[in-house]
Structure 1
Amino acid sequence: MKEMMQEALREAGEQAEIKNVKQLSGGSISQAYLVETAAASYFIKWHEEAPVGFFRQEALGLQFLQEAEALAVPKVYTWGKHFIVMDAVTGTSSAHTEEELGRGIAALHAVEGSIFGLEEDNFIGELPQINGWEGSWLPFLRNKRLLPQIELGRSLGRLQSRRSEKAYRLLDHLDEWVPDHNRSVKVHGDLWGGNWLPGRQGHPVLIDPAVWYGDPEFELAFTHLFGGFSNTMYRAYEEFHPPDPLFEERKPIYQLYYLLVHLNIFGESYGSAVDAVLNRYTRF
């Protein structure tokens, strides 16, 4: 493994020998390492069975976020089929980190697109995330976000009989809770509490993107699902994007996408959470 890492660093232009390798915890998909040479520190993610294009899409996603000039992302040096090499993110939170994070997410959500989606499919976790382009929000939500995960869940045996019926019924009635519109913005796409880190001087850094042009409420709903964000962050965000009074009514529908993703990756431990959303909107 160390020899493969040394070769990856050479591809990144680093000629100094590796002095220390520390495996990091927390990654459920790839192995993560902090690699130190005499010249610098690097973060290397390694996945021996990575799907085709997995690390390419991560690099493109970080570039997508960097171009928004809203929040910092790690510099990517190189990537290959099984790995990606980037700057190590090291730092501790300051008194201003959470406020800066909220304002940064608000700035990301101020970068508008012309339509919804992305030119290429990418990944949400290790699952394919279907993109392509759509001119309005409701069909994109139905056909490119919820439907692919429902169909994957059926093929994996995660959505059977009653659960499947309710999922398709919800798709048929989305317009009762979700308004259609044509305003899209840049979103990180996988913005839970583990996908940002404090960097130098406490400045927040975004990692592990699943980017596209989407509805900012969809992203905001996910930040509420597993926690990890402070009231300070939300207050700073809402200075620029005050919440819609009806957001709470549709928030669980947006969270359903991520619950289905977790159900399809991790199994029935997320089944009751999926059922709770389906039962809320499909009482039959």
Structure 2
Amino acid sequence: MGELTSALSCQSGMKIHINYAEKIPGGDINEVFKLNTDNGLLFLKMNDAHNYPDMFEREFMGLETLSATNTLSVPRPLATGRSGGKVFLVTEFMEKGRINPDFWENFGANLSRMHRHTQQHFGLPQANYIGNIKQYNTPYSSWSVFYAFNRLQPLTREAYDRQVIDKQMVTQMETLWRHLPQIFPDEQPSLLHGDFWSGNYMVGSDGRACVYDPAVYYGNREMDLATARLFGGFDTRFFFSYQTMYPLAEGWQQRIGICQLYPLLVHLLLFGGSYYNSVKDILDNFN
């Protein structure tokens, strides 16, 4: 813990002493711990430094980017670095609270405010990660080109190389991404959480939503909304509030499945199983 303590004290600007670390459940991708320190509770994530040398550096930057919007609450990032062959990220420990009566309305409204933060191009200056999968963010002025080249193509190639999809599915994907310019209307890039499913939010101590584990980039805002619909866990009041504050472009309902292909491919690569059929159903409906 020596390197970790030194990095934490140096980067946070406070002298911090770790009393003990308690391993906690919920880490599918990373080892996660609750740190008891002289300055209160902190949250620690660790992974292999050889395989993922910049994973937490990118997540640290993502949390800072989301925090700077003053919209959705995120855990404050405190330190990142290497220790004993591991890379680590330390953030504040978010205590769970009781849900406010306007929780869902506030959640939807704040996501819409976050999505109004924009830049000239889709993407980011650097790659980052979704889970432990590399997420390419090469900037493009077209969402359709960005989605094809940075999202669907790399994961389709990896899935085929791993033999978790067949040649027919690759052909279906190729047909789909050629049609993306006709599917998506023009819209400015939005700052996205990037991995916006129900496992990546909690009710904070103030009774409002706190989001974490981001895979930040500037993209089409329908991606966050489609991912939220994919695995459940979001009340209809959330979607109604968002739509009231920042209505989606006409025809968004028909694009939900296309947007869900990316998180489904991520889950297919990470966990296999039924995600193959989910991807196939969307492609069959398109083709």
Normalising by structure 2, report the TM-score. Answer: 0.91
Q: How does 1:92-107 map to 2 (within 5 A)?
A: 92=97, 93-107=99-113
What secondary structure sits across from 1:202 in the alignment? coil
Q: What one-letter code is carried by the residue in structure 1 that aligns with 2:120?
A: S
Deviation larger for 89-98 or 120-129: 89-98
Q: Partner residue of 1:76?
A: 77
Q: Is 1:254 paired with 2:259?
A: yes
Give the C-alpha shift of residue 38 in structure 1: 3.3
User: Deviation string for 1:214-240 (max 9, x for gaps)?
Assistant: 111121111100111111211221221
Aligned positions, number: 280
Alignment equivalent of 1:230, drawn from 224, 230, 235:
235
Q: What one-letter code is carried by the residue in structure 2 that aligns with 1:110?
A: R
Alignment equivalent of 2:167, drawn from 153, 161, 166:
161
User: Deviation string for 1:241-271 (max 9, x for gaps)?
Assistant: 2244411111100100111111112224311
Q: Is 1:123 paired with 2:124?
A: no
Q: How does 1:200-219 map to 2 (within 5 A)?
A: 200-219=205-224
Q: What stretches of structure 1 of length at least 5 have no aligned partner?
A: none
Q: What stretches of structure 2 of length at least 5 have no aligned partner?
A: none
Q: What one-letter code is carried by the residue in structure 1 that aligns with 2:165?
A: L
Structure 1 CA distance, aligned partners of 2:30 and 2:100? 29
Q: How does 1:103-182 map to 2 (within 5 A)?
A: 103-179=109-185, 181-182=186-187
Give the C-alpha shift of residue 203 in structure 1: 2.5
Q: Partner residue of 1:277?
A: 282
RMSD (CA atoms): 1.9
8 Å CA contact 2:32–2:43 kept in 1: the answer is yes
8 Å CA contact 1:158–1:268 kept in 2: the answer is no
Q: Partner residue of 1:198?
A: 203
Deviation larger for 210-219 or 162-171: 162-171
Q: What one-letter code is carried by the residue in structure 2 that aligns with 1:40?
A: G
Q: What one-letter code is carried by the residue in structure 2 that aligns with 1:39?
A: N
Give the C-alpha shift of residue 4 in structure 1: 6.1
Q: Partner residue of 1:61?
A: 62
Q: Partner residue of 2:21?
A: 21
Task: Label 1:112 to 1:9 Cα distance change in 2 as closer, same or farther (>3 A).
Answer: closer
User: Deviation string for 1:200-223 (max 9, x for gaps)?
Assistant: 221322211111111111211111
Q: What one-letter code is carried by the residue in structure 1 that aligns with 2:143?
A: W
8 Å CA contact 1:106–1:237 kept in 2: the answer is yes
Structure 2 CA distance, aligned partners of 1:16 and 1:245? 52
